[in-house]
Chain A
């Protein structure tokens, strides 16, 4: 399977702990996106990278959140001092430059975070 891969699939952590998620995009895609989805809601945009450059960040991305894509390939999303409100599905997606009909966003299956 050469789709978007996310790890881990599930993470349970205690409030105040730090967590880190990893995303491996489709290999030829240079854009990578992070979205957050809470129960019963649609995904919400967090941030995106073109190659290694982080080009846009949502206001949802508080200073406890940091995302990196150091070599323009895989990306990590770290949440520091987790809060119960951080419990959600964190989705990663990738695409090629210039959104065209043949370059849609391909989503991974997400990392489900539960903060207790």
Chain B
């Protein structure tokens, strides 16, 4: 069993829709949770970072962490075609030294 599970999709939504992306994990020692966006042939770009449980909002993006369920989510409101990319969840025990990534969910926002 992988330490981080993520549905690879693909996921297609119409422009303006609310997108929900999720990951589950098995290691209760994870305390730092991140979402990265990766465009084709580019490196991952950090979108959101959360420590421990709770919610964090940044513009159209909201990250949620539920440590009791070992479940994290990323919500994208008013999705745009430019949001079309692969979204990777990542987490670590003690900071940035060794991030464990999900497989990524490929999102397409249709104009």
> Which residues of A line the B interface, CB within 8 A?
4, 31, 33, 35, 40-45, 48, 55-56, 58, 91, 93, 95, 98-99, 101, 103-110, 112
Determine if B96 and A43 form an interchain contact, defined as CB atoms under 8 angstroms apart: no
Q: Which of the residues A40, A91, A99 comes within 8 Å of B44, measured between beta carbons?
A: A91
Set of chain B residues within 8 Å of A112, measured between Cβ atoms? 41
Within 8 A of A (CB), among B13-28: none
> Which residues of B line the A interface, CB within 8 A?
4, 6, 8, 32, 34, 36, 41-46, 49, 51, 88, 90, 92, 95-104
The number of A-B residue pairs with CB atoms under 8 Å apart is 64
Q: Which of the residues B51, B88, B96 comes within 8 Å of A31, measured between beta carbons?
A: B96
Which residue of chain B lies nearest to A110 when distances are taken between CB atoms in the complex?
B43
Determine if A42 and B96 form an interchain contact, defined as CB atoms under 8 angstroms apart: no
A91 to B99, alpha carbons, bound, how many Å? Answer: 13
Determine if A108 and B43 form an interchain contact, defined as CB atoms under 8 angstroms apart: yes
Q: Which of the residues A33, A40, A58, A101 comes within 8 Å of B8, measured between beta carbons?
A: A40
Set of chain B residues within 8 Å of A103, measured between Cβ atoms? 96
Set of chain A residues within 8 Å of B51, measured between Cβ atoms? 101
Set of chain B residues within 8 Å of A56, measured between Cβ atoms? 97-98
Set of chain B residues within 8 Å of A45, measured between Cβ atoms? 98-100
Closest 10 CB pairs of A and B: A42-B101, A99-B95, A107-B43, A99-B96, A104-B46, A45-B98, A109-B43, A107-B44, A43-B101, A42-B88
A98 to B94, alpha carbons, bound, how many Å? Answer: 10
Determine if B49 and A101 form an interchain contact, defined as CB atoms under 8 angstroms apart: yes
8 contacts between A and B (CB under 8 A): A41-B103, A42-B88, A42-B102, A45-B98, A48-B97, A104-B34, A105-B99, A110-B43
Known contacts A40-B8, A41-B103, A42-B102: A98-B43 contact under CB 8 Å: no
Name which of A104, A109, A112 has the most chain B CB atoms within 10 A of its CB. A104
Set of chain A residues within 8 Å of B36, measured between Cβ atoms? 107
Set of chain B residues within 8 Å of A108, measured between Cβ atoms? 43
Q: Which of the residues B32, B92, B103 comes within 8 Å of A42, measured between beta carbons?
A: B103
Determine if A95 and B98 form an interchain contact, defined as CB atoms under 8 angstroms apart: no
Determine if A99 and B32 form an interchain contact, defined as CB atoms under 8 angstroms apart: yes
